Structures are given as structure tokens and as C-alpha cells.
Structure 1
């Protein structure tokens, strides 16, 4: 072993042997390309792995896992690095961005994509076949991490359910270095554990999942001046507490937008209430449902219209540039007036504060369904999810985290007691996202498939039973 900047590296001979075995690239600290591979969308990641293996084939993944096992090193996996996890030193990081193949089987309405694919890689080919995936709000997010964290589609979720429930099969390298194809029929125990356990049980090199016959939607964004935030929140509560068509998906976000040139002029430096809408029914029905919002008054911008599904990224208009941020969320079993009043009170104090966004999203519809091969998902059955993020230099982020903790604490009386895996904070763990019985089952699966807890970095770690 050799030492580099206080990191103890495997011997040069061992590293050279690994480099010779893989088609992709191997980086150590100080190498050109190391910082690029370690960095992710969230600039607060801060990982310092001993080695980075930028894999190009499933065989590369096997070589990296076998190397880590031989040298008693933990393994982490990264595609885009959107979600915050505690920073770690001294492990092997596998980056999967080159595994971005996409195959669309139109006859079966199924996509088979590589473990490093992003949603923008999938949406276009799927649309050419008249189909759509259950992707998230941002086209640049990785398919595997999003899906195996549950996969809450803000446009199609209430209509078709959780993305993870529609996974058909997975190709995965497990802790013994074996490449396995798993499904409900082939190794069903591992298949179940992978769906919601994310990278706790192996490195996914390929995922196959269902697609749906959607080529357009009626929706977009209604952006209101911040002084109308209370009216927007109360209209949202009145609308979403009642019976809604499963084809209708809706959320409200309170946005503190910075005074930066890249922010469009109508929003620059302003506090804004943003209503996000997607409807798969008729345009007329959608307009009837959003009429209470239109009655509030003039908008800053109105993008609601019949749109091709490929334009879905414009509904939430998520940031596209990497940034330093932290996020927190909570799931609500109900949303009574007291909870609404708490969010309204918060909205009054939000302008100019350290929190960049707070979103309230309606769940329900097909998201409540429990299919025959349901994934072990702790968020199932929740009525709403509240999520927030704070962005900026350390002092702003720290202050924003404190504010978000206060907000989620205020909502605790109506919480389910669990978090949605993809909307968690840096210090949240597996016990925060799964019911106790489900976590016990997953820990038993961990004991079987990864008894040494090799895969314990960049995830909500599930320890072996």
C-alpha cells in the first residue's frame, strides 16, 4: 500500500493489474480526470475515494467489485450524483455514465437501458415508439438511482404508479463479483431487495422496465407573484383534498429565485409561487380543475397548454447546472387545516430567506396501489410529500437546513413517520425510509447477498442482519 495525500492506496502493482483488466479508466487522487469522475450534480458531495473505476462494460464492474473485495474496501456507485449522502474517504467508486445504452421494445412496451443512462437518453427513443417512461421532473437524472429509490413521476405517477413497481428485470453485479440477471422469476429475493434498496445489494449494469402509451399531456406551470402564495396554497389544498382523477398530477412550489443573469427576468430575484400541472385527460377537464388557480389573478408566466411529452422538463423547470445544496422532506398521511396553516405561516417568512424551494405534491391515485410484485416502498400510501432544498455557500445552506428542519418538525403530527427515499437529507438512513418489518426483511437479504456490507457508500445503508 502507498500513501497519497493522507489516503492509503493499494499497491501500484495491484492498481496496474486492475487498470489492465478494465476497458474503462481507473483514476487515483491527483490523476487528471479524478475530480471530474468524483464530482456530481451536488457540489457538496465531498467524497474522496481511493480509486475511481469509470466502467465501460459489465465486466469492468465485476473487476472493480472483485478488486474491492480483495483489498477489503467499501464500494460506492455514482451516475449523476444528485442526491446528498455523507462524504466518505477510502473506498472504490464505480461511475457508470458510459453504460448508457437504450433499447426500446415497442411491441412489449418495455425499455432496456444501461445502468448509467439518464432519462434524457430514454425519453426521445421511447417517444419515437409512442411510449413514455415514468421519469422524474429532471431529464438529466440517472434512471437507475431514481427508479430503485421508488420513482415518483410528477407527470404520470398518479396515473400509473411508482416506477419501481414496473421494473421487469435487472442485470446486477453482486458482492461476490458475479453478474446476475434477476426478475420476479429468477432470484426473486434479490429482485425484491434491489427494488428500493438501491445500491445496497449490487451494481446495476442494466435495467428493464415498462413504458406507457403517452405522447402528450395538458399542463405546464402557472407562476404567481409571491404575495399570492397563501391563496395558491389554499386553492391547492381545496383542490387536492377532494376526489381527483388519477390522470391529474399537481404540485405547488414556493421559490426563492436568485438575482442572477441566468434566471429569466420575470423571476429574477423574486419570491414566486409555482403551480405544476400535468393532465392526461381532456384539455377542458384540466382547465376546469385548475380554474381556482386562474381565479387568483394574473400570473407572471403561464405555460399551461397541450404539449408533447418530450417537453415535460419545462413543467417543473428544475435547475440544469450543478450547485451546492442540501434537501429535506417528509411524507404526510393527511393534510388538515392545521398543517396547511403551518405551511402558510412558513410561506410568509420565506421571501429572501435561505431556503430556495419548498414543494407540496399530491400523491394518491395509482401510487396507493399494491401490485402483485410490489416493491418494498415505505412511501406507498402517503397522501402528500413535502420537500425542500437550500442552495448556496455553506453559511446559507446551514441556515436553510435549520429552517427546513423546523418546517418538517411542525408537520410531524400529520407525518407517516417515514420519508420518500429520493427526497431525503444527507444524514437520513434506511430506518427513516422503511417500516421496521420491511427493513428487517431487507437486512436479512443483505446478510445473504452482501454479508460484509461491501456496498455501503452513497446509499441509505442497510446493514446485514
Structure 2
């Protein structure tokens, strides 16, 4: 069974196409009676743990979305996609804290933390979860809040795996109707210069501006602007919640570098997916990430260059500026790890299933020079098979121990692989 991620084939013993929480409860009870593991898939952008055997619960049909404009919240089903929530929220002058891919699922992204387009302004998406409806390993439904089931509430927001099947969630919306955003594209031959200016530019930058740098080899096709066709490029992507005039002032140091193309503009929030223009067609890929305490230009430059035209795999590299609201945990905290990281560096390579291991080995080579600046990894942006050491690096020891305690309390038999 395949979702958006075609690089790993899921081979469960039983697939349950759930329509509601009752179907999920029945699936979990069926698995428990037969000592089978349970995995979950909504849109299939990631992978639900080990791919063989057990029961796979598909929640993609549970895709209801309801916006409460007065409370500035939304209730979403387990299979809801960000594009649905954007469409429902923006007529009210509200925005969800979505990531770059609007066709991905709300729940899985949020449970992993969620570093969205407005992340430095509002923090992790997981910080804004108000409640969750969860089917735990005993086959029972629980309404999970900070007041009821506080340990499970803490763990689900950033711990993601090994805790149950989330069937619904209530989450905050933010009062953002428009942003100043888009991209500036540069030739990757100028990567050292661009990365150096970007490092200096992000120092002390207002948290109302969230940005990232992408390195990619673009195809030579008419759909692209002529200056970009067939080139290895660096794209600086911007999302700023202040005025367009202030945005113009803030990006001036980047513009002075002389980009190949300039697509920065004031835009309604519903157009924000165009900033990244993530591909919508399912494909095979694998990827990983490291969280960095600082941006060491020579090490990141090597990462970018080795992922360029000479790479064995078509590779996309992204450097994301963190800090701001991301560094501040919500009241009561949650299981999001490594809030002290200043940047995230992620890599994604197109690789069919039989070459997934080779691509992962390539990624480990890329990470080598960054070891001295690495503080951990994101839960999100780990695609494909992950090793135990990579899973361990997602959280600091104290968070990891607490997560283990919560998992042992709610899933003593390990029904949900983590």
C-alpha cells in the first residue's frame, strides 16, 4: 500500500480504511486480540514505522474540517490536509500554522512538532494544539487535554509515535490574512557569498520573518523562468507578517546580491504555498536532517555542493532559520526537542526503494563535517527508514525518558511502534 511517499512499500497483513473513531477502535482491538502491531497512514508523506506485517489503519477518509472564527480554532479529522484548512480559515482572516506542502496531513505533521511558514513568529504547530481525540492501545477513545490526561497531552505534541491513533484535533488559528513573501533565486556558484550574507542577515532578525534557503538542480523546461532553466540554484524563501514596505526594507541586503529572479510580493495567505511550490505528485524519496547550534558556512557549503549536479541522486537541500518563538515552549511544555537549535539543515534525495539504503549512506556522508555543530534532529523531515540512533537524536535525554514512561503507561505491550 502506498501514499505520497512511493519509496517504501507498506506490506501490512490487514488494512482498515477507517471512516470514524469507531472503526479505529475496532481495528486496534482486532490487532490487540492477535498481538499485531498497529501503524497509521493519512496522506503517506512519511512512513509509519517498519513496513511489514500488522494492521495498517488508513485515516485519509476522516478528513472533516470545522473552523470556529470566534474562538480562532479549528477541529480537524485524522485525514485532513492543510490545503483544506487553509481554504476554510482564510475567508475569516485566519491562517493555520501549516508547512510548505499544503497537500500533506495536518495530524502527522503537527504531532512531529511542525515548523511552518510562520514558525519564528508563532512557534511550533504542536505548541498550538488545544485537545486531541486518541484511541489508545486498550482500544478506548480518550479526549486528551492539558487538564485531562496531561502526560499524554504533553507527549503527543512533539513525540508523535508510539502513543495511539489520533482521530481528531483542535488547534489554534492565527490572525494573519496576508504576508510579504516569495523567493529570491541565485546561481549556486555563488553559494559561499549567499550563505555568508544569509548567516549575517539572520543574526538579530525580527521573529516576524521566517526564512529558509533551498539548493536544487532545476530541470531545463519551459515552465520555469528562462534564467533558472537547467541550473543549480539557491532559493531564499521569505514569509513576513509585517507590512510590505517593512518587508522590502528587511530583504534589501539579500536583493543587493543580485538574484537571478525576484518573486517577493505582498500576497493573501491562501497564496502562501507558492513560496515553496512543493511537488504534488507522489514519488519515491528518502531524507534526513540535522539541527545546528550555528551556521558554519564552509560545512554547509560542502553539503550544498555535494548535493549538486554531480550527485548520484537528485537531491534537495534546505537550510531553515529557527529561533524566535520556536525557542519558547508553551505553558506546561511539550515533547518538542532541541528548542535551542539556531538552524535546521535537511536533505531529500529521490531514490527508489531498492536504492534507499545507498541514498541514506550518502546523507550520512554529507552530515559528517557538521558533527561539531549538530545538537539533534527534527522528528519531521526524517523520511524513509531511520536508525535507532537517528530516532534517539530527536529529543534530549530528559524528554526521551519521559516519553518512554508515557509510552509504557499507555502502550505497555508496544502495540504502536515508535
Q: Aligned-pair distance for 1:115?
A: 0.9
Shift of 1:141: 0.9
Matched, 1:313 2:276: no
Alignment of 1:284-363 (within 5 A): 284-299=245-260, 301-335=261-295, 339-352=296-309, 353=311, 354-363=313-322
2:382 matches 1:424: yes
Look at both structures and tell me which one has the larger radius of gyration over its CA atoms.
1
Q: Deviations over 1:241-274 (max 9, x none)?
A: x211110111111112345677666544321111
Going from structure 1 to structure 2, the CA distance change for 1:268 and 1:320 (only over 3 Å counts) comes to farther
CA distance in 1, matches of 2:269, 2:263: 14
Please report how far the alpha carbon of residue 408 of structure 1 lies from its aligned counterpart in structure 2 after TM superposition: 1.4
Deviates further, 346-355 or 174-183:
346-355
The aligned residue for residue 39 of structure 2 is: 76
Alignment-derived partner of residue 100 in structure 1: 63
Q: Distance in 2 between matches of 1:115 and 1:307?
A: 30
Structure 2 counterpart SS, 1:236:
helix
Cα distance in 2 between the residues matched to 1:211 and 1:135: 10
Tell me the alpha carbon deviations over residues 17-43 of structure 1, each in whole angstroms, 9 at most, x when there is no partner: xxxxxxxxxxxxxxxxxxxxx201111
- For residues 221 and 404 of structure 2, what CA distance do their matches in structure 1 show? 46
**Cα pair 2:8 2:353 within 8 Å, conserved:** no
Which of 123, 126, 135 matches 1:161? 123
Equivalent in 121, 131, 134 of residue 97 of structure 2? 134
2:84 maps to which residue? 121
What secondary structure does 2:326 align onto? Answer: helix
Q: Please give the secondary structure, in 2, of the residue aligned with 1:359.
A: strand
CA distance in 1, matches of 2:245, 2:314: 36
Give the corresponding residue for 1:7.
Answer: none
Cross-structure match for 1:384: 343
User: How far apart are 1:48 and its partner, in Å?
Assistant: 0.2
CA distance in 1, matches of 2:190, 2:23: 54
What's the Cα RMSD here? 1.9
Q: 1:306 to 1:397 in 2, by over 3 A?
A: same
Shift in Å at residue 399 of structure 1?
5.0
Task: Work out the CA distance in 1 between the residues paired with 2:329 and 2:44.
Answer: 30
Alignment partner of 2:251: what SS?
helix
Q: Deviations over 1:122-157 (max 9, x none)?
A: 01111111111111111011000000100111x211
Q: Report the count of equivalent residues.
A: 413
Mapped to 1, the partners of 2:98 and 2:49 lie a distance apart of 26
The 1:182–1:254 alpha-carbon spacing in structure 2 relative to 1, beyond 3 Å, is same
Seen in structure 2, the aligned counterparts of structure 1 residues 50 and 305 have a Cα distance that, compared at 3 Å, is same
Structure 1 residue runs of 5 or longer lacking an equivalent are: 1-37
Match of 1:5 in 2: none
Q: 2:399 — aligned with what?
A: 438
| Preserved contact between residue 230 and residue 347 of structure 1 (Cα < 8 Å) | no
Greater RCO (CA < 8 Å, at least 6 residues apart)? 2
Report the Cα offset of residue 404 of structure 1.
Answer: 2.3
TM-score (norm 1): 0.85
Separation in structure 1 between the aligned mates of residue 39 and residue 225 of structure 2, nearest angstrom: 37
In structure 2, relative to structure 1, the CA distance for the partners of 1:85 and 1:116 (3 Å cut) is closer
Distance 2:49 2:408 in 1: 23
TM-superposed CA distance for 1:197, in Å, is 2.3
Tell me the secondary structure at the aligned position of residue 164 of structure 1: helix
Whether the aligned pair in 2 keeps the contact of 1:53 and 1:95 (CA below 8 Å) is yes
